[in-house]
Amino acid sequence: MATFIVLLGPPGVGKGTQAKILAETTKLAHVSSGDLFRENLKNQTELGKLAKSFMDKGELVPDDVTISMIRERISRPDCEAGAILDGFPRTPTQADALEKMLAEFASEVNAVPYITADESVLVERTGGRWTCREHGHIYHEKFSPPQKTGVCDFDGSELYQRDDDKVETVTKRIRVYLEQTMPLVEYYRKCGKLLEIDGAQPVEQVTRVLLSALNK
Ligand code: ADP
Ligand code: ADP
């Protein structure tokens, strides 16, 4: 049976960073809904233009388009063994839809690491985040700077600061997270799948705790 891991947590807590490490370690695909929207935006697709209007305001993209985008993504061959889902699901409707689509592949969500940190940590992390234009590699100007300022270590592409990482938009995204995504914490706790992880530690420490929780 395939393995699906859902990373839950507020904006900027380190889901993308940990998802990339986990994907390397487990050889599962990394599926990031935010990266998929940004890729669509870069390619100027209709979905990208629609998503941008919500992303710029710090709001969630509507469930129906988000769910069809993820359905298409996890149907690709590289997800046959499973995936690390980063940023999806974010609403109860998305969680229901995920359960149904995985049931079609005779699979289910196996574990839900829930990474947390105080709001001040989230603001500091998003405020210093630099993202790679080509493949979404993640840097922080203070905590994980690239070797050369403004250039991705992996693919040499340009690093940029996301429009929605402005402090006003981050504050809005945290509010949206508390209202729309927090119910999923209780939902997965009740199913016995939630693994609570302290995200306020350095990257390597969070990875250690995460891997040991998953191996239990
Ligand atoms: P998310 O996907 O949850 O929004 P990211 O993985 O993109 O979070 O991380 C947000 C920012 O914080 C990035 O700049 C990243 O380099 C940095 N970061 C991630 N994890 C840590 C950590 N444990 N300690 C310090 N900085 C971190
Ligand atoms: P972060 O890593 O900081 O949590 P993401 O890159 O995951 O941010 O998401 C950026 C934006 O993309 C969100 O604010 C939202 O507008 C949109 N988005 C990403 N995932 C979803 C989702 N599952 N449902 C609805 N909107 C989403």
In a domain, 171, yes or no: no
Q: Give how far Cα 183 sits from Cα of 82, 115, 166, 203, Å.
A: 24, 15, 26, 26
In a domain, 28, yes or no: yes
Task: Write down the residue that tokens 């289910």 correspond to.
Answer: 108
Report, in angstroms and rounded to the nearest whole number, the Rg of the chain calculated over CA atoms. 16
130 lies in a domain? no
What's the whole-number mean pLDDT along residues 204-212? 98
CATH number at residue 73: 3.40.50.300
Residue 143: CB atoms within 10 A of its CB come to 14
164 alpha carbon, closest ligand:
2
* 216 included as an active-site residue: no
Respond yes or no: is residue 175 known to be catalytic: no
Give Dmax over CA atoms of the chain in angstroms: 46
Query: Does some domain include residue 176?
Result: no
Note the pLDDT of residue 93.
98
Does the residue 128 lie in any domain? no
Q: What is the pLDDT of residue 20?
A: 97
- 131 pLDDT exceeds 90? yes
Q: Give domain status of residue 167, yes or no.
A: no
Q: Quick: pLDDT tens for 167-181.
A: 999 999 999 999 999
Cα-to-centroid distance, 7 and ligand 1 (Å) = 13
Domain that holds residue 94: 3-119+181-215
Query: CB 194: neighbour CB atoms within 10 A?
Result: 19
Average pLDDT of 107-116?
Answer: 98
Instruction: Please indicate whether residue 173 is annotated as part of the active site.
Output: yes
What does the pLDDT read at residue 70? 98
The answer to whether position 56 is within a domain reads yes
Question: Ligand 1 center to residue 12 CA distance, Å?
Answer: 5
Ligand 2 pocket, CB under 6 A: 11-12, 15-16, 33-34, 37, 54-55, 58-61, 66, 87-88, 90, 94, 164, 173
216 pLDDT higher than 90: no
Atom of ligand 1 nearest to the CA of 205: 23
Q: Where are the beta strands (DSSP E) in 36-89?
A: 82-86
Q: In this structure, is residue 175 part of a structural domain?
A: no
Tell me the best of 18, 140, 141 to mutate to test the pocket of ligand 1, counting ligand atoms within 8 Å of each CB and taking the most. 140
Q: What is the domain count for the chain?
A: 1
User: What is the pLDDT averaged over residues 110-139?
Assistant: 97
For 138-159, write each residue's pLDDT tens digit. Answer: 999 999 999 999 999 999 999 9
> In the predicted model, what is the mean pLDDT of the chain?
97
The 10s digit of each residue's pLDDT in 17-72 is: 999 999 999 999 999 999 999 999 999 999 999 999 999 999 999 999 999 999 99
CB-based pocket (< 6 A), ligand 1: 9, 11-17, 125, 128-129, 138-140, 143-144, 202-203, 206
Dump strand ranges (E) for the chain. 3-7, 29-32, 82-86, 109-116, 129-132, 138-140, 159-160, 194-198
